[in-house]
Each structure stands twice: as structure tokens, then as C-alpha cells.
Structure 1
Amino acid sequence: MRKYLAYYVRNFDYPLFFTYVFLCLFGLVMIYSSSMMVSIVYEDGTPDYFYRKQLLNLFVAALAFLVGAFFPYKHFSSKRLMQILLFTTFIFFIWLKIGGYEAGGSKSWINVFNLTMFQPSEFAKLFIILYFAGAFYRKSLNNPMENLEPNNIVYPILVWLAIIFFVGTETDFGAVLIISGIAVAVILASGIEFKKFLKFFAVITIFGSALIGFILLINGNEILTKNRIGRIKAFLNPFEYEGGSSYQIINGYIAIGSGGLEGVGLGQSVQKLGYLPEPQNDFIMAIIAEELGILGVIIVLGGLGFIVFRGLMIALTTKDPLARMIAAGIASWIAIQTFINLGGLSGLIPLTGVTLPFISYGGTSILLLSLAMGILINVSMYVKLERKKT
């Protein structure tokens, strides 16, 4: 045990770890600052309501991080564990269909025995990384990736399509985009030839498009709601609907513009005082920009960018295809989710209600992201050991 701990300390990825910790603590401070008014008006009357809940979330997330960091990453993609997680994933989604709760326009939450609220789509993001990586890795042991064809991995693709169906019928299209992007990134990192990758991509696109069409056919009235159509109109011309669909976007612009270079000061945001709904969630970057200015935005983007860069470098430098796929999947998850969040905030894409990784308020999100970060650090340690052997 002592020998293992010594090896662990020597090979631990400290830059990645401290960046993760910094972002979590920075997010905690900004959750407190951005949610003070919401906490007083809508919750229990104390300004630290969301801060206290996120602090508890971080303690639980720290345990998840330790599990991911200390257990060898190959265990997380083992066939037995994947079977258990696959069963658990679909139990969550069936539970969601029977008794899910709606928040932010999506029925994407389940009440776990009155103890906490849980979002299955967040669980599905990490699951699809581990499941695809494990499935491709086991296939490559008997048949090199260069020889694989789309029909060789029909089962994983069917699992992915089933998850997309459940998440799509929740009307959580932000999660659909992230899970789809993750699947493509893992396949691309598997070592497959580019021509065959295009075949996989074509198969996924065809089946995915057909599935989305089917979801719209059976659930179109719930998906194409007045609110969602309004978001698309707001994206196309936000200032035409500033009193309605564009209300949140316009107030986000005002917050960003008010911050300027240096910001108005921590805790001094005006837009969080009832103008910007739920500022501690997907619009938290607007409050960061208003209070801390461009410097605050650069700090957050720099931290997230470093994690993504580190993950991609781990994927590019390892010889182990399983490690490569897991690292690329986690890095792509954080990159895609960050882009969707900031794209909606800045008006580059329609709003989807996706949170900013490590920064926004949310228990399920920080729990699964922390577990993913632990696994990524575990993979990083393996890559360091791999280099020492060569």
C-alpha cells in the first residue's frame, strides 16, 4: 500500500488537479454572488441558500473524484461494470418517464427517495464515454480498428440511439448535442482510419436524423413549444423580442457590457437583482463578466481551456487506445458543453439551458464532472508511467 501511494504521489497530475479545484472554488464564490437575490426572494430567505447547497455538492463530488482518481481507469470500462451501468442508465430513464420533474422547460430530473434531485442525462454523458471506449477497445483486441466496419459495432450504436431517444423526449436538446459530440469524438480517437470514420459518422448521422424525426413525430407538440420557437426567433433577431423571448439574452448582454475591462466589483452586479432569471445556472458567465470584467472571463476560459488541452494532449501521447478514447471523450465533453453554454449566452447559437462546467450551480453536473476529472487524472498517471518505461 505504501509503495502504491508513493508511486501515486510521484505521478499525480498536479496542474490538472489544481486547475479543477480552482474552477470549483471559483464557481462556488460566483454561485454565492450571483444567487443572493434569488435565494432571498424565492428560497428560504437567506442569501447563502445556493452556496450552502453547492458546498454540500462539492463535498460529495470530492468523494467521486477520489474514486475516479484512485481506481485504475481500465476498471471503469470493464464489461461487467458496463453491463451494470447500462442497466442503471435505462432504469434512470424509465424512472424519469414515469415520475420525472420539469425544470427550465425540460422534464429531465428525478427525485431520488426525497433526498436529492438527479439528472440522468448528465449520467449518460460519462456513461457514453466509458461505454464506447470499452466497446471499441474490446473489439480492437480481436480485430484491429483499421478493419472494423459500422456493422461490427451495431450494439454500441443502438445503445447510443436509445439514450438519444430518451434524452430527446425529455426535450433536453443541449444534452443531445453533447452526447452526440462525445460519441463522435470517442470514435475519432479510437484509431480508426479516416475513411472508415466517415462511414461511422454517416451511419450515426442517418440513424440520428431518423430518430430525431421520429421523436418530433411522436412528441412534436411538447418539443416545439412556444417557448422553444421563441428561443429560435430570439437567436435570429434578439432585439426584436427583447420584452419576451429575448429577455434573458438581452439582460445577459447588458451584464457583459456593464463589466467592461475590470468589472463593477465582486458582489456588485445589478443584473442579478431580478433582471436576469436564475443567474447562478447557465447565465453565470454573464455575472462573472459584469462583476469581474474581461479578466474574470479570461480566468474561467483559461482554466477550462487548460483542462481540455491537457486531456487532448494525454489522448495524443498515449499508446493505449482505451486511455486515448477516455481522455478524448472527457476533453470533448467539457469543450462541447462550454461552447454550447457560451454560444447561447453570446448569441452564436440558440439557448439550450446547458450549464458551464465546474462553474454553474448543479449537484448532478459537478458530481459527474468530478468523477470524470478523477478518471482523467488516473489516465494521465498511466501515460506518465508509460513514458518512463520507454
Structure 2
Amino acid sequence: MIERLKDYDYTLIITPILLTLFGLVMIYSASMVTAVVEGLESTHYLARQSMWFVMGLVGFIITSIFPYWKYQKLMKVIIIGVILLLIGLFPFGNTVNNAKSWYLLGPASLQPSEFAKLALIMYLASVYSKKQSYLNEFYRGVLPPLVMTCIILGLIVLQPDIGTAAIIFLIACSVIFSSGIRMKHLSLLIAIGVGIILLSYPFMVTDERISRFTGAYEPFETPDTDGYHLIQSYLAIGVGGLTGEGLGQSVQKLGYLMEAHTDFIMAIIAEELGLVGVVIVIGLLAIIVLRGIFIARKCEDSFGALLAIGISSMVGIQAFVNLGAISGLLPITGVPLPFISYGGSSLLVLLTSMGILNNIAMNVNRKRNETTK
């Protein structure tokens, strides 16, 4: 047992837990006023997120012990289960922010698209690891898994949740690119993707989505409407300076910056803890991403390597999109900041994913230790 404990990657245990605990503190700070205004206890959102944190820890422990290669045998059950959950949203889902993306389960809610991220990573890693010997054949090796990818993306787009669909698309691209497909096949896939976007453009563009772009790139043209959220985010970031106004001292969370405990929580971190707090959070997220890539490079099993790449990409891409939205680099899409933002389904999936990544790391470390004996 002691020998096995030596194989765990404690960086991937300590870092996600530190981020999540810090996230709980910031969720309480950013949400207590909102909760009171809504007629709830000031600790309402903190208590909800803490519940998901406990569930995430259970998922983390289970997946860090469960051998990752056994997921390949469960792949059909996992991917069919996720598709059924996504389909079930249309008759049984709850609409939030004009998207039918949630199941209401008593006091809690579940977002299947978050689970679809991890399920698709597992699926693509499993399929492409088995196709390594004929991956240079486009129609036999590359194309078939993309059908399942398009089905999942299509079901999420129809909710409609374009932000999550874009995240999943980018994660899928990272796994496919890392699988070793030929550049000409990758170029063909990009061309197909661009063609689909162009064909669907007239159907996907709405006034609401156009407003997201105008709000991101011309916020001061519409300061009271489309650009309001981003301007308030700028104010929070600007006021914070180097060390911030102090924990709990944010002004923007007092009804000025909407979704302060979810999409814009980094703006509150910047206001209360300054550039120092922002750099620490980004640094810890970067450690997880880089550690995952390092594990992927050291893993001799192609399934484990692609799984590690997919999980690392999920954290990195989601963080980039969230930070891009609060800084005006990207349109606001409602993507939470990993481990920090309020959101139970996201936290549960992220901590479970960290358990899987730790299991891959444990096997890499065990083989390395065996060769050095």
C-alpha cells in the first residue's frame, strides 16, 4: 500500500483541491449579496457548491483508483448514456438563459453537456488508440469517430448552447490532432468544419448572438445594453490594481456585475485580490494543464496519452474561453472558470477527470519506478 502511495501524482491532487477551496471562498464572497437579494440565505450558493465539491471528491477518489484502461470496455455504455441524457433534455429539460440544458433534480440541477465533454474525450481516445495501425486511411481510420462527435455537438447546438458546443469541438480537435493523423487529413477536416459553419450561418445567427459580438468588441457603443457586462468587468479588473481592494470588498458584486459568482468570478478576484490573485489562479490552472501534457508524453499507452491530452485540453480551453470573455478578447458565452466558478456539474466532471488523470499518472510513475529498481 505504501509503495502504491508513492506512485500518485500529488501535484494533481493538491492543485485541483486548492483551486476548488479557493473557489468556494470566492463564490461566497461574490454571491452572498445576490443570495440575500433573492430572498435566500447568504450561504446558499456556497452550500450548494460545497455539496458538489464533496460529490466531486468521491468521484476523484473512485476514478483515481479505477484502472483507466477499463473505460474502453465501458465505452458503449458511457457514450450511449450521454446521448440519451442529451436527447432527454428536449422533452424533460429545464430552460435557463434561453437554453434547454438542465435537468432539475429537486434542489439541484444537472447539465448533461458537461458530462458529454468527458465522455467524448474517452470515446475519441479509445477509438483513435485502436486505429493507430491504419490512421493514415481517412475513410477507415479518421472519419468514423467524427460521426459520433457530430451527433453530440448537434444535440448541444440544438439546445441551443453554442458556447459549450464550441468548447467540445475544440477539445475534440485537440484529441484528434494528438492522435497522429496526417496533416492533409487534418486540413480536410478543417475545410469540412468551415463549410458546415458557412452553411449553417443563416440559421445560427440571431440578434442575441450578434449582440454578444458587439458587446465584446464594441462595448462602449452600447454601454447600457450589450456592452454593460464587459464594462462592469473592466471596472472590477481596473479597480483591483496589484493587490486588490481586499477579500469581500468588491463593489461590482453589489448588483452591478451580473453572474459575479459564475461567468465573471475572475473579475471579482481581480477586484478583491488584484493582479496577484489573478496570477496565482492562472498559474495553478497552468500547472494542471502542463502536468497533464507531461503525463501524456510519458504514457506509453496511446489510450492513456490521448485521454490525458483531452482532459488537459478541457481545463486549458475552458479557462482560456472564460478569461477571454471577461477581458473582451472573446464574446461572452457563459463558460465557467474551471474549479472556481459556481456550477455543480462542471465541478463534478472536473474533479472526476482529475482522478482519471491521476490514475494515468500513477501508472506512468509505477512503470518508471519499476525500471529504475
TM-score bracket, normalised by the shorter chain, equals over 0.9
Could you tell me which of 301, 313, 317 is aligned with 1:320? 301
> Residues 204-243 of structure 1 correspond to what in structure 2 (within 5 A)?
205-212=190-197, 220=203, 223-243=204-224
Residue number in structure 2 paired with 1:199: 185
Cα distance change of structure 1 residues 389 and 269 upon mapping to structure 2, 3 Å threshold: same
Q: Secondary structure at the match of 1:258?
A: helix
Query: Residue deviations 1:262-310, cap 9 Å, x none?
Result: 1000001000000011200010000000000011101100110000010
Provide the rounded CA distance (Å) in 2 between the counterparts of 1:325 and 1:197: 18
Residue identity opposite 2:287 in structure 1: F
Residue number in structure 2 paired with 1:371: 352
Residue identity opposite 2:61 in structure 1: L
Provide the rounded CA distance (Å) in 2 between the counterparts of 1:64 and 1:115: 20
- Alignment partner of 1:130 is 2:122: yes
Provide the rounded CA distance (Å) in 1 between the counterparts of 2:196 and 2:170: 16
Residue number in structure 1 paired with 2:23: 27
Residue 213 of structure 1 deviates from its aligned partner by 5.2
Residue number in structure 2 paired with 1:174: 163
Contact 2:177 2:186 in 1 (8 A): no
Provide the rounded CA distance (Å) in 1 between the counterparts of 2:187 and 2:353: 25
Could you tell me which of 43, 46, 55 is aligned with 1:51? 46
Cα distance change of structure 1 residues 215 and 7 upon mapping to structure 2, 3 Å threshold: farther
Residue 211 of structure 1 deviates from its aligned partner by 4.4
Query: Residue deviations 1:152-197, cap 9 Å, x none?
Result: 243311000011111111222221221111111112222x25xx14
Residue identity opposite 2:306 in structure 1: M
| Structure 2 unpaired stretches of 5+ | none
Provide the rounded CA distance (Å) in 2 between the counterparts of 1:198 and 1:238: 40
Query: What TM-score, normalized by structure 1, do the two folds share?
Result: 0.91
Residue identity opposite 1:202 in structure 2: L
Residue identity opposite 2:350 in structure 1: L
Residue 6 of structure 1 deviates from its aligned partner by 2.8
Residue 352 of structure 1 deviates from its aligned partner by 0.7
Provide the rounded CA distance (Å) in 2 between the counterparts of 1:11 and 1:34: 38
Contact 1:314 1:380 in 2 (8 A): yes
Cα distance change of structure 1 residues 22 and 58 upon mapping to structure 2, 3 Å threshold: same
Indicate the percent of aligned positions where both proteins have the same amino acid.
Answer: 40
Provide the rounded CA distance (Å) in 2 between the counterparts of 1:8 and 1:22: 23
- Alignment partner of 1:117 is 2:102: no
Could you tell me which of 243, 246, 249 is aligned with 1:268? 249
Could you tell me which of 6, 24, 32 is aligned with 1:10? 6
Residue 228 of structure 1 deviates from its aligned partner by 2.0
Q: Secondary structure at the match of 1:108?
A: strand
Q: Secondary structure at the match of 1:107?
A: strand
Could you tell me which of 188, 191, 206 is aligned with 2:177? 188
Residue 47 of structure 1 deviates from its aligned partner by 1.0
Cα distance change of structure 1 residues 339 and 132 upon mapping to structure 2, 3 Å threshold: same
Provide the rounded CA distance (Å) in 2 between the counterparts of 1:139 and 1:359: 37
Provide the rounded CA distance (Å) in 2 between the counterparts of 1:198 and 1:43: 58
Contact 1:248 1:277 in 2 (8 A): yes
Residue 43 of structure 1 deviates from its aligned partner by 4.3
Could you tell me which of 297, 300, 304 is aligned with 2:285? 304
Contact 1:150 1:199 in 2 (8 A): no
Contact 1:178 1:336 in 2 (8 A): yes
Contact 1:28 1:359 in 2 (8 A): yes
Deviates further, 88-97 or 100-109: 100-109
Contact 1:43 1:49 in 2 (8 A): no
Provide the rounded CA distance (Å) in 1 between the counterparts of 2:199 and 2:38: 39
Cα distance change of structure 1 residues 105 and 295 upon mapping to structure 2, 3 Å threshold: farther
Residue number in structure 2 paired with 1:154: 143
Contact 1:150 1:200 in 2 (8 A): no
Q: Secondary structure at the match of 1:163?
A: helix
Provide the rounded CA distance (Å) in 2 between the counterparts of 1:197 and 1:105: 39
Residue number in structure 2 paired with 1:106: 99
Provide the rounded CA distance (Å) in 2 between the counterparts of 1:111 and 1:153: 37
Residue identity opposite 1:33 in structure 2: S
Query: What TM-score, normalized by structure 2, do the two folds share?
Result: 0.95
Could you tell me which of 226, 248, 252 is aligned with 2:229? 248
